[in-house]
């Protein structure tokens, strides 16, 4: 009886403890669910902030190069003005000394001076004093230049250190969140257990249960950060001023639209080459076409394009990049940079000539996709030169591009596809050469120099082997080549303008759509375009998607 009574009294107590434990378990489960939801939202915000910082980093690097070149221009202008001022000062000193010596000599002499040793000694003393004054001025000028150069080098090193630390910090934070860990401040660690007490004045934020929420894009600048989850806590200080997100979005959209127009222009150039060779009858424009189209025909067409394109680039370059001529002079004086630019110009020349020849024989719809198979050679070369080892995604993309090339070439004879494949090889070497010079020369100045090199090489070949065309086609061919130069000038203007707004990686992402754009443009505008086989369309799509995937991979790894 005693034991049953005692057990009866203990059952409510056990039941109460069990209910308390279950309530505590539900409470902890709810808190953990809130924490997981918060960390996921925080990760998404950090990813968006990281994208914004990458865009700002690209813009900061471009602004840094522009400011560096402007400071060099201002320094040279200041040096010239100082030299003029010192020359005027030297002339005044010489005139004053000569006047004083002549006045003293005439005053102290009772007779007119005759040529003697005293006159020569006086003149020699005057010249010595002037030379010593000039030496002092030159010494001060040299020391001032040395101080300015030292200051510029220190500022450049500080800027590089700041940019490197910013990139490293962003990478560390992204790595921590990808591992599922929240970033901690230096000298603190995450708590081992949950502490749901509200914050007190002077308490450590990391050691407590509070997490600071980053302001969302729709929050107003100057608002306060909130403590989440939304139980009793303490509000932490004012939020920093937010970046103008709508303005940045408008800039990105504008840059992407300009890059798209440039891509359409480059596709139109390839289609126009095919129209001049194969003939066309579109938009009330009738082109007869050529019976044969070889390497020298393509070289003549490229020469006509460069005759118009180079003056347009020379006029537009100072508007897009104010220090372009100074950068060109530095590139010419630097032997490594000049060699890289000359190599890039030669490779780009052969890529363009072989592309024109392939577009004139195979058709633009096949020539452009085969040109964009250049990653098959460029990626291994960059791996060998820069140690940029391809990951699994790049390997899969390379396999997809190779499959696309096989599908396009399957209905064709390999001999006929030779110019297109040579164009891809030359373009891959051009890309690799430009990667070696990307951090030394501005894209606008490098493009201007390389197009001049292309013009020189094309002129030499044209003098050795001029093209012979029929009399009734000469005017049509020349006008077509000049039209290519106009279209190329407009396309390069939009290309360089978009490059300044969105950076090189996003520009490459848009340019990767050139194969499919060229194929569609050729199908809809050229009547005599060789018809594409059904098996070739998947190849064009694979090459286009492969190029876009490579650009997205580089953009995500930046």
> What confidence tens digit (pLDDT) does each residue in 79-120 have?
777 777 877 777 778 777 777 777 776 566 544 444 455 656
Backbone angle region of 180, left / alpha / beta, with phi > 0 → left and psi within -120 to 50 → alpha: left
Residue range 309-361, pLDDT digits in tens? 999 999 988 888 888 888 888 888 888 888 889 999 999 999 999 999 998 88
Reported confidence tier of residue 245, pLDDT bands at 50, 70, 90:
low
Nearest-angstrom CA–CA distance, 395 and 452: 36
Q: Which one, of 268, 170, 137, lies nearest residue 558 by Cα?
A: 170
Evaluate if residue 462 carries a pLDDT over 80.
yes
pLDDT: which is higher, 173 or 347: 347
Whether the per-residue pLDDT at 369 is higher than 90: the answer is yes
Strands (E), 254-293: 280-282, 285-287
Please confirm whether the linkage preceding 14 is cis (ω < 30° from 0).
Answer: no
Q: What are the tokens at 395?
A: 């390997």
For the cut 80, the answer to whether the pLDDT of residue 461 exceeds it is yes
Confidence of residue 237 (pLDDT cuts 50, 70, 90): very low
Q: Judge contact between 467 and 422, C-beta under 8 A.
A: no
State the pLDDT at residue 178: 52
The owner of tokens 């203007």 is 493
Count CA atoms within 13 Å of residue 529 on its CB side.
27
Asked if pLDDT for residue 176 goes beyond 70, the answer is no
Tell me how crowded residue 284 is: count the other CB atoms within 10 A of its CB. 5
Contacts 24+ apart (CB under 8 A), 510-513: 510/256, 510/259, 510/260, 510/262, 510/263, 511/259, 511/262, 511/263, 511/266, 512/372, 512/544, 512/547, 512/548, 512/550, 512/551, 513/263, 513/544, 513/548
Of residues 547, 194, 198, 525, the one with CA closest to residue 400: 547
Mean pLDDT of the chain: 76
Write the pLDDT tens digit of every residue in 255-310.
899 999 999 999 999 988 888 877 665 555 656 666 677 888 889 889 999 999 99
Q: What is the Cα–Cα distance from 251 to 162, expressed in whole angstroms?
A: 25
Long-range contacts of 157-163 (CB under 8 A, 24+ apart): 159/64, 163/57, 163/60, 163/61, 163/64
377 pLDDT higher than 60: yes
Q: Would you say the pTM of this structure is higher than 0.75? A: no
């Amino acid at each position: 009886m005693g034991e049953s009574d005692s057990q009866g009294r203990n059952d409510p107590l056990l039941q109460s403890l069990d209910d308390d434990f279950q309530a505590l378990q539900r409470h902890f489960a709810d808190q953990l669910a809130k924490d997981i939801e918060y960390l996921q939202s925080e990760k998404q915000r950090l990813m968006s902030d990281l994208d914004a910082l990458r865009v700002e980093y690209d813009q900061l690097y471009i602004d840094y190069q522009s400011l560096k070149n402007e400071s060099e221009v201002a320094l040279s202008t200041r040096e010239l003005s100082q030299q003029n001022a010192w020359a005027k000062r030297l002339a005044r000193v010489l005139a004053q000394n000569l006047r004083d010596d002549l006045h003293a000599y005439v005053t102290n002499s009772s007779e007119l001076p005759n040529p003697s040793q005293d006159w020569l000694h006086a003149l020699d003393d005057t010249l010595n004093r002037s030379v010593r004054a000039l030496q002092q001025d030159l010494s001060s000028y040299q020391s001032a230049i040395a101080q300015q150069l030292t200051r510029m080098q220190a500022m450049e090193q500080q800027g590089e250190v700041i940019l490197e630390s910013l990139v490293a910090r962003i990478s560390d934070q992204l790595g921590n969140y990808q591992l599922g860990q929240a970033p901690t401040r230096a000298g603190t660690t995450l708590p081992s257990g949950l502490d749901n007490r509200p914050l007190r004045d002077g308490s450590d934020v990391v050691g407590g249960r509070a997490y600071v929420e980053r302001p969302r894009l729709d929050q107003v600048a100057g608002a306060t950060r909130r403590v989440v989850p939304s139980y009793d806590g303490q509000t932490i200080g004012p939020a920093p001023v937010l970046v103008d997100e709508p303005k940045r979005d408008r800039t990105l959209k504008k840059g992407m639209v300009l890059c798209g127009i440039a891509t359409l222009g480059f596709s139109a150039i390839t289609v126009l080459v095919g129209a001049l060779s194969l003939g066309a009858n579109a938009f009330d424009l009738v082109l007869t076409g050529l019976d044969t189209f070889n390497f020298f025909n393509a070289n003549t067409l490229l020469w006509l394009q460069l005759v118009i394109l180079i003056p347009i680039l020379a006029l537009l370059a100072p508007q897009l990049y104010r220090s372009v001529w100074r950068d060109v002079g530095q590139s010419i004086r630097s032997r490594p940079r000049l060699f890289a630019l000359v190599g890039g110009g030669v490779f780009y020349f052969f890529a363009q000539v072989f592309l024109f020849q392939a577009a004139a024989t195979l058709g633009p719809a096949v020539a452009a996709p085969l040109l964009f198979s250049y990653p098959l050679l460029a990626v291994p070369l960059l791996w060998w030169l820069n140690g940029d080892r391809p990951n699994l995604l790049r390997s899969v993309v390379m396999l997809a591009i190779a499959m696309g090339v096989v599908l396009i070439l399957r209905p064709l004879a390999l001999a006929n596809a030779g110019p297109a494949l040579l164009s891809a090889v030359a373009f891959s070497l051009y890309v690799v050469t430009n990667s070696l010079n990307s951090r030394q020369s501005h894209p606008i100045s490098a493009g201007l120099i390389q197009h001049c090199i292309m013009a020189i090489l094309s002129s030499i070949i044209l003098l050795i082997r001029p093209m012979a065309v029929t009399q009734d086609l000469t005017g049509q061919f020349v006008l077509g080549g000049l039209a290519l130069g106009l279209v190329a000038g407009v396309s390069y203007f939009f290309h360089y303008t978009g490059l300044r707004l969105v950076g090189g990686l996003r520009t490459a992402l848009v340019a990767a759509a050139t194969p499919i754009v060229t194929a569609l443009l050729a199908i809809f505008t050229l009547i005599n375009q060789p018809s594409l086989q059904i098996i070739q369309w998947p190849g064009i799509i694979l090459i286009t998607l492969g190029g876009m995937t490579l650009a997205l991979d580089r953009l995500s790894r930046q």
